[in-house]
């Protein structure tokens, strides 16, 4: 079993009533958001929800009450916005949710220039830590068979125009023929994401690699290197090294199994985590969690794949594993070991399913989305 991509350093006691609904029934219900989104989201999000329900029951945890919320093309048709205000208001009251992929490239033209749904939600709730494990599943062919790492990506700053400005875009054109972009990097953001990486490494193999381009971008990405060295002095039990981003891409291909926890800025983290996901098997198996001090959002690394949507062919693995990360995170919030147990059951069930040879088409298998989900669901109850 690989090391668990938990989220130490983020948890804060927010009280036992957060995200819970209580009534005359003595059973306590965990309330979570469910946003299917576009494309294959309508298939993989319900698959993850079903597995979560089974895992919670098997672990003796409180049952989940899903709060279904509109997002994406359907929300545009009904509310005139991809992320309508009623959805944001509901998320404000919830400790966590599962977010399906969005296909903003297919939205009506007036909505394509707006912040994409995922970016808007990350910005609104300051989901600053994007945790992206890349671990090879048994029975899955991988370019780097021994890969078991976690990329800790800063999620609110950098060059991405949907995240680096309080209002408006970080891109602008002084003339029709010149395009410019502003990257924002703050010490506060560097410090909080680096601390997450060090705390996570203490639960794994005690090694942090900070990725930067300080030889060229010495003030922006160089700040990550400086902050990592400063914080590293407070963690003498964790080994710290660093890599330039271009060299790191090559190292992931050549010796990806040597790395443990990788921390970096927004755009570098996005690129490297997609690369690591493919090297460890497929983006269809690459989970992701976005977290703040009080909220968490499960969101698979892959996109909406509209070409296979509705054909029962999508791989639900990444979304299922993302949901497991969400449960682990909520278990830390509440100090509830049953949620951690449910998360471990899901991870173990996915691994034993792929190990048995059951896989979807992207992994060379014959299982449909629903068949794979059935197999995982059946396994979560096993000891």
Model confidence pLDDT, tens digit, residues 8-17: 333 322 223 3
How far is residue 321's CA from residue 348's CA, in Å, rounded to a whole number? Answer: 10
21 pLDDT above the threshold of 90: no
pLDDT at 26: 42
Q: How many domains are there within the chain? A: 2
CATH number of the domain to which 214 belongs: 3.40.718.10
- Domain-located, residue 285: no
6 pLDDT above the threshold of 60: no
Long-range contacts of residues 52-56, Cβ cutoff 8 Å, at least 24 apart: 52/323, 52/327, 52/342, 52/346, 54/377, 54/380, 54/381, 55/324, 55/327, 55/342, 55/343, 55/345, 55/346, 55/349, 55/380, 56/30, 56/327, 56/338, 56/339, 56/342
Q: Is 274 a catalytic residue?
A: yes
Same domain, residue pair 24 and 102: yes
Q: Is 213 a catalytic residue?
A: yes
Same domain, residue pair 146 and 274: yes
Same domain, residue pair 17 and 114: yes
Interacting residues of 105 by C-beta distance below 8 A, sequence separation 6+? 112
Q: Name the active-site residue from 103, 242, 270, 362.
A: 270
Same domain, residue pair 355 and 276: no
Q: Is 260 a catalytic residue?
A: no
The string over 55-78, giving b where at least 16 C-beta atoms fall within 10 Å of a residue's C-beta and e elsewhere, is bbebbebbebebbebbbbbebbee
How far is residue 354's CA from residue 347's CA, in Å, rounded to a whole number? Answer: 11
Q: Which of 280, 299, 323 is the last residue of a domain?
A: 280
Same domain, residue pair 195 and 220: yes
Residue 270 phi/psi, 5-degree rounding, is -65, -50
Same domain, residue pair 58 and 101: yes
Residue-wise pLDDT tens digits, 112-165: 877 789 988 998 999 999 999 999 999 999 999 999 999 999 998 888 765 566
Tokens of 212: 């930067």
How far is residue 332's CA from residue 207's CA, in Å, rounded to a whole number? Answer: 22
- Domain-located, residue 220: yes
How far is residue 8's CA from residue 347's CA, in Å, rounded to a whole number? Answer: 18
Same domain, residue pair 25 and 98: yes
- Domain-located, residue 274: yes
Same domain, residue pair 27 and 54: yes
The terminus-to-terminus CA distance of the chain in angstroms comes to 15
Is residue 354 within 8 Å of residue 137, measured between CB atoms? Answer: yes
Residue 179, number of CB atoms within 10 A of its CB: 10
- Domain-located, residue 255: yes
Is residue 283 within 8 Å of residue 314, measured between CB atoms? Answer: no
- Domain-located, residue 3: yes
Beta bridge partners of 151: 132, 262
- Domain-located, residue 240: yes
With cut-offs at 50, 70 and 90, classify the pLDDT of residue 22: very low
Q: Name the active-site residue from 160, 199, 242, 336.
A: 160
Q: Is 270 a catalytic residue?
A: yes
Same domain, residue pair 276 and 176: yes
Q: What pTM value is reported for the model?
A: 0.90
How far is residue 296's CA from residue 317's CA, in Å, rounded to a whole number? Answer: 19
Same domain, residue pair 118 and 22: yes
Residue-wise pLDDT tens digits, 29-38: 899 999 999 9
- Domain-located, residue 44: yes
> 266: domain range?
142-280
Q: Name the active-site residue from 107, 148, 199, 213.
A: 213
Q: pLDDT higher for 40 or 164?
A: 40
- Domain-located, residue 290: no
Q: Name the active-site residue from 13, 146, 241, 246.
A: 246
Q: Which of 280, 303, 337 is the last residue of a domain?
A: 280
Residue-wise pLDDT tens digits, 238-288: 999 999 999 999 999 999 999 999 999 999 999 999 999 999 999 999 999
Q: pLDDT higher for 21 or 254?
A: 254
Same domain, residue pair 60 and 176: no
Residue-wise pLDDT tens digits, 336-356: 999 999 999 999 999 999 999
Give Cα separations from 138 to 141, 324, 362, 363 (angstroms): 8, 18, 15, 12
Same domain, residue pair 162 and 114: no
């Amino acid at each position: 079993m690989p090391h668990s991509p938990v989220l130490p350093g983020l948890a804060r006691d927010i009280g036992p009533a957060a995200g819970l609904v209580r009534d005359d029934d003595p059973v306590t219900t965990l309330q979570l958001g469910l946003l299917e989104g576009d494309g294959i989201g309508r298939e993989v999000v319900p698959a993850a929800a079903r597995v979560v329900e089974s895992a919670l029951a098997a672990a003796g945890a409180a049952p989940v009450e899903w709060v279904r919320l509109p997002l994406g093309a359907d929300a545009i048709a009904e509310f005139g916005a991809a992320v309508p205000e009623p959805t944001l208001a509901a998320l404000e009251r919830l400790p966590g949710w599962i977010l399906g992929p969005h296909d903003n490239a297919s939205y009506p033209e007036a909505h394509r220039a707006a912040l994409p749904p995922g970016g808007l939600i990350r910005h609104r709730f300051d989901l600053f830590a994007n945790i992206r494990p890349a671990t090879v599943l048994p029975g899955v062919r991988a370019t780097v068979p021994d890969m078991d790492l976690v990329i800790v990506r800063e999620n609110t700053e950098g060059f991405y125009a949907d995240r680096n400005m309080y209002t408006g875009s970080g891109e602008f054109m002084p003339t029709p023929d010149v395009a410019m972009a502003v990257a924002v990097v703050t010490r506060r953001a560097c410090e909080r994401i680096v601390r997450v990486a060090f705390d996570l490494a203490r639960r794994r193999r005690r090694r942090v690699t900070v990725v930067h381009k300080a030889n060229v971008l010495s003030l922006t990405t160089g700040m990550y290197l400086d902050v990592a060295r400063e914080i590293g002095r407070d963690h003498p039990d964790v080994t710290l090294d660093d890599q330039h981003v271009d060299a790191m891409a090559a190292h992931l291909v050549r010796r990806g199994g040597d790395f443990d926890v990788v921390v970096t800025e927004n755009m570098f983290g996005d690129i490297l985590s997609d690369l690591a996901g493919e090297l460890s098997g497929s983006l269809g198996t690459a989970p992701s969690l976005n977290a703040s001090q009080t909220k968490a959002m499960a969101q698979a690394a892959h996109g909406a794949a509209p070409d296979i949507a509705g054909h029962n062919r999508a791989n639900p693995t990444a979304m299922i594993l993302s949901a497991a990360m969400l449960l682990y995170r909520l278990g830390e919030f509440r100090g509830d070991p049953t949620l951690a147990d449910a998360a471990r059951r899901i991870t173990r069930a996915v691994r034993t399913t792929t190990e048995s040879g059951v896989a979807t088409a992207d992994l060379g298998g014959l299982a449909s989305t629903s068949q794979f989900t059935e197999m995982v669901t059946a396994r979560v109850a096993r000891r």
